């Protein structure tokens, strides 16, 4: 006997992918290398996590000045998630070859022995 998917299940599956498609559409229109945009969607007990991988040259376009573009994208994703009763979070992966300084490079020796 065939396993038939109900119309309701199809609607839920389509709604589940809306956030991923929405993010891909927005980012591909912003960046200079739209073919390098990759979005991975994972679901866990905390909600939906969309992980964004982009070309290193496009990082500035997605982050924006003072992070305003990234914050705006996150706000829009929260609205899409609320429409589908899901908590949606965005993680922007730092691309290989990034020139941004890592936090591990910060010298914390002056406060390591601090007693509070």
Average the pLDDT over 105-111 and give the result: 67
Predicted confidence (pLDDT) per residue in 36-63, tens digit: 999 999 988 888 999 999 999 999 999 9
The CA distance from 101 to 116, in Å, is 29
What's the pLDDT score for residue 18? 86
pTM of the model: 0.71
Using an 8 Å Cβ cutoff, are 30 and 69 in contact? Answer: yes
Q: Which domains does the chain have, with CATH numbers?
A: 32-95 (3.30.300.20)
Average the pLDDT over 71-83 and give the result: 92
């Amino acid at each position: 006997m065939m396993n038939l998917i109900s119309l309701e299940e199809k609607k839920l599956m389509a709604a589940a992918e809306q956030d991923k498609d929405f993010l891909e559409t927005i980012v591909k229109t912003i960046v200079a290398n739209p073919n390098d945009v990759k979005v991975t969607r994972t679901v866990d007990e905390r909600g939906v996590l969309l992980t964004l991988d982009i070309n290193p040259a496009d990082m500035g376009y997605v982050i924006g000045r003072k992070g305003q573009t990234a914050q705006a994208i996150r706000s829009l994703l929260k609205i899409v998630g609320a429409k589908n009763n899901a908590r949606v979070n965005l993680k922007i992966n730092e691309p290989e070859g990034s020139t941004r300084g890592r936090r591990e490079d910060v010298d914390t020796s002056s406060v390591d022995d601090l007693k509070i």
